[in-house]
Structure 1
Amino acid sequence: MQAGELTISNRNDDLDLDMVYAFLSQETPWAKGMPRAIFERAVAGSLCFGGFVDGKQIAFARLITDEATFAYLCDVFVLPAYRGRGYASALMKHILASPSLAALRRIVLVTTDAHHLYAPHGFTSLGNPERYMELHRSDVYGTDA
């Protein structure tokens, strides 16, 4: 898919997994210190999307999904040098229009500071937060992120 100058692919063979792993494990608080083997298992068990400009991957998003009823959206990023150009929004539009995701009953995500990115695509605060529970192991990668 082409969105302006952004090309989007959900083929794992197209992804620059070295760049994605380096960014996630070194630059993000939620995946800092993630071992490469865990990252590779996560990618293998997920539906991943890459955003490319001039053949270089500059964006990524991963969904853990059954592609029938539910998805958890995570690991969304645009490299810092490419932010502010609408690439994240274009990536979100493409993801949400994908045939295997467009009819899902629920897509959830967790964000600390990107509500402005997701709200225009229909994401809202939890309607019934009292129903949600979590088991959060913050030190699973040997860091306290």
Structure 2
Amino acid sequence: MSQHRQDGYELSTAPERLDIALVHRWLSTDAFWALGRSLGTVEQSVRDSLNFAVYDPAGAQVAYARVVTDRATFAWLCDVYVAPAHRGKGLGTWMACAVRDHLAPYRLKRVLLATLDAHGVYSKAGFVSVPNPEQFMILQRG
């Protein structure tokens, strides 16, 4: 899948275009939820996920998101990252909407995500707070 905006940005799901070393640097050094994540972990997570990337008009990758899903009942949107120089341009919302639209044919019962401070970004794509958070649990390691 590929989409273009009038300002020249392109969103793509083509895995061969991903700059995995760049994604690793972003996540392991600047994303509070993934600080210190190893390159091997990033490589495996990319391999086993649906990947979305945004490229600037010159073709450089400037954003990333991935979805973990069984394509039948559930998906988890995670590792959403927009390079600092490209923030404030609606790229995060664009990616969240593209994920929503890409997953729509699967008719998944739940698409979840976790965010500390980007609720406004995701609400524009239709995400809402978990209605019964007391029903959710987590098995957390490390």
One of 86, 89, 92 as aligned partner of 1:85: 89
1:57 to 2:76 alignment: no
Post-superposition CA distance 1:66-106 (Å, at most 9, x none)? 122210000001100001111111122222111xx112221
One of 18, 22, 42 as aligned partner of 2:21: 18
Q: Which moved more, 1:25-34 or 1:2-11?
A: 2-11
Q: Distance in 2 between matches of 1:105 and 1:78?
A: 27
One of 30, 48, 62 as aligned partner of 1:27: 30
Q: Distance in 2 between matches of 1:21 and 1:95?
A: 21
One of 3, 28, 36 as aligned partner of 2:5: 3
Relative contact order (alpha carbons < 8 A, sep ≥ 6): 1 or 2 greater?
1
One of 113, 118, 122 as aligned partner of 1:114: 118
SS at the partner of 2:24?
Answer: helix
TM score, norm. by length of structure 2: 0.91
Residue identity over aligned pairs, in percent, reads 40
Amino acid corresponding to residue 21 of structure 1 in structure 2 = H
Check the 8 A contact 1:10/1:49 in 2, yes or no. yes
1:38 to 2:50 alignment: no
Q: Which runs of 5+ in 2 are unaligned?
A: none
Task: List structure 1 runs of 4+ shifted beyond 3 angstroms.
Answer: none
Q: Which runs of 5+ in 1 are unaligned?
A: 140-145
Q: Distance in 2 between matches of 1:89 and 1:6?
A: 13
Match of 1:123 in 2: 127
- 1:120 is displaced (CA, Å) by 1.5
Check the 8 A contact 1:3/1:90 in 2, yes or no. no
Q: Distance in 2 between matches of 1:28 and 1:90?
A: 19
Matched pairs, number: 136
TM score, norm. by length of structure 1: 0.89
SS at the partner of 1:60?
Answer: strand
Match of 2:138 in 1: 134
